[in-house]
Chain A
């Protein structure tokens, strides 16, 4: 069986340029082309060793796909490729204004509960969060392009915060819908 070069970057694996603004459709079809070759279903009748290799390689392709398809993960992967060591736990933000904004957003979500139109209230916050995510995404692109890796890391961190609030909002919305 063919053996993938596990040293290449995820971008190289999928034949994409190293940039934050990737074409998700191209990523998806490249992923399918690769899985068509390496997926364990292609090795059902192969030797035990090839079966194992196939699971390993297909796993690696999936991991690469997951990383590039999610904006926050993609940004952080790009930083790692540039040699930055990221440690989620020790990383905090000292941007007080940003932190205040976070707290305000969470309170806004909580307030939707008592709103006359709670779902509409959620939708408005959702729009706000999406535009915030876009804003930090552009910030990341600029910082990364200028080689300001520390600033780019802060942008990616902010994207991550927004992503978490977005997920909370989605859970909250489901909770409301289900009564």
Chain B
């Protein structure tokens, strides 16, 4: 638009080369997106000013809802409104069975896939697809707010996520069509947000208790470098478990005749509300009411503390372990940073402070700090800060091993090894003419394969036939900076690289991802219209910003009162339409706005030329 194009004569009009990027906190309960704007990391709210997007997707018969709208559907239609899928990422059918009482959904398992699906009115949906929907919504929200496309994103994951869980997160991003710069560990992101590298040359602990995951990391700070020394946790322990503890207590008190999906959802929602109240109050009233049954009761802080104490104790046990891993004692820790919504619970603060024997850092909003840190890292990775010294050095959270004779795990790379890392091993053949072999990779600390998590089976083939024991097959295991593993193999004598077929134990196969991507094309039309709307909303905002700035600087001097009023009216109309109007309508209003201000633009142009010429010789004026 013409108004925007006025710049002071003689000044450069070339736009500053800035690549927009975002940090995404893909949480169990809520998700957030943040970005660095004018050098400042900020949370990007949606058009209604909401920063937190509930991590819930509703799959109805004819529509898909994400976030708050999906949350509202949870009570009415619990089976089609999917929440807490972070707990299912990278998980298999057996794991899902164990989550039976936690997840009220109908799980579909078939032999063609390792990934359990949830039955919904739209079809059978995997956790990866649900996460992809949340990611898409967040990216739209970010692009709308920034008014530009994102060059890439950083997505945070619990430090204690294993390879399968990280891979699932990567797959979700692929489905959402995102360029992922890096998967960043949540505790590291929090340390970045606090800017602790600037203030400290010391060792800190980050205690991160979220909705569904617990992480404890020990980091050493040194002028821009964040070095993770050790990390530990439990990827299935969090605030959700507190809700369930209250829920079970309610069910024991209320003694309902029958409990269906809807009632248990109601109990859970009431439990969460009670938990939240108890962070500030000493007691909370609980009311459960539906058509057939009802119950009313009260829970006080002491009762609540009693219910959750075992959970908090479990986190402290993990803290003790990670200190041991880092070869440090509590006295070596100079700061303890508290992250995650569940650290609002008073008992958590009290017990953690007692454990570390010091005050805790919690000035930044524990729900937002991870997204903020991710945004700062994304900005650096996008190349906007070439002089930045920031460097994040992370470790492998769980040991990688391979299956050996007798169902034992032989460690290849032990936990807390700095990543990226590559380790090689040599094998030989045990039969004449053998041209293939299979390697089963597992992750975990236990001796028995059955106690570790199976990651994948790698089938190596295509090396030249030799007599038994003559071949020298070098297998390299590589873990990249995202904590993701890959395997390569070659026969050293012949130099022939093996063909590798990966059979992931829990993840989607490449073919499944391809199919999902194709299917999502069918929805692309919806996405395109959503994008068009956003583009118009952004254009409208820009026009308003430009006209506001112009009116402030010379509106009074260049316009008569009626002219001023007319422009102001058009501006206000447009402003009001932004959140509600469709793309076409917005486009029309923008054009109307431009038309009304045409004369004004022309006058500004003249005034600005006149000003540039005033007091200058003709030969000083650049044409």
Contact = CB atoms under 8 A, between A and B. Distances in A.
Contacts of A60: 422
Contacts of B152: 44
Contact of A41 (B317, B392, B418, B422): B392
Interface residues on A, range: 20 to 34
A59 B478 contact: yes
A32 B225 contact: yes
Interface stretch (A61-69, A75-83, A107-115, A149-157): A61-69
B383 interface: yes
B418 A56 contact: no
B400 to A, nearest CB: 14
A170 B422 contact: no
Contacts of B380: 41
B555 to A, nearest CB: 43
Contact of B480 (A45, A55, A178): A55
A58 interface: yes
Contact of A66 (B383, B391, B393, B417): B417
Interface string B384-404: 000001011100000000000
Contacts of B429: none
A41 B181 CA distance: 8
A5 interface: no
B418 A39 contact: no
Contact of B393 (A32, A55, A56, A63): A32
A36 interface: yes
Contact of B420 (A40, A66, A174): A40
A40 B480 contact: yes
Contacts of B181: 44
A55 B389 contact: no
A40 B419 CA distance: 10
Interface in B217-237: 222, 225, 227
B320 A177 contact: yes
B612 to A, nearest CB: 39
A40 B480 CA distance: 8
Contacts of B391: 32, 35-36, 39, 41
A123 to B, nearest CB: 12
Main secondary structure of the interface of A (DSSP, over half): helix
A170 B481 contact: no
Nearest to B481: A40
Given A35-B393, A44-B152, A63 B383 contact: no
Nearest to A179: B317
Contacts of B417: 62, 66
B485 to A, nearest CB: 12
Nearest to A36: B391
B431 interface: no
Contacts of A40: 420, 480-481
A47 to B, nearest CB: 14
Contacts of B324: 170, 173-174
B182 interface: yes
B19 to A, nearest CB: 9
Given A32-B391, A174-B320, A178-B317, A63 B481 contact: no
Interface string B101-128: 0000000000000000000000000000
Interface of B: 152, 181-182, 222, 225, 227, 317, 320-321, 324, 380-383, 389, 391-393, 417-423, 478, 480-481
22 contacts: A32-B225, A32-B393, A40-B420, A41-B380, A41-B381, A44-B182, A44-B381, A55-B478, A55-B480, A59-B420, A59-B421, A60-B422, A62-B417, A62-B420, A63-B421, A63-B422, A63-B423, A66-B418, A66-B421, A177-B320, A178-B317, A178-B320
6 nearest A-B pairs in the assembled complex, by CB-CB distance: A59-B422, A40-B481, A62-B418, A44-B381, A59-B420, A55-B420
Given A32-B391, A45-B381, 15 more contacts: A32-B222, A36-B389, A39-B481, A41-B392, A41-B481, A44-B182, A45-B383, A55-B420, A62-B421, A63-B421, A65-B418, A66-B418, A66-B421, A174-B321, A174-B324
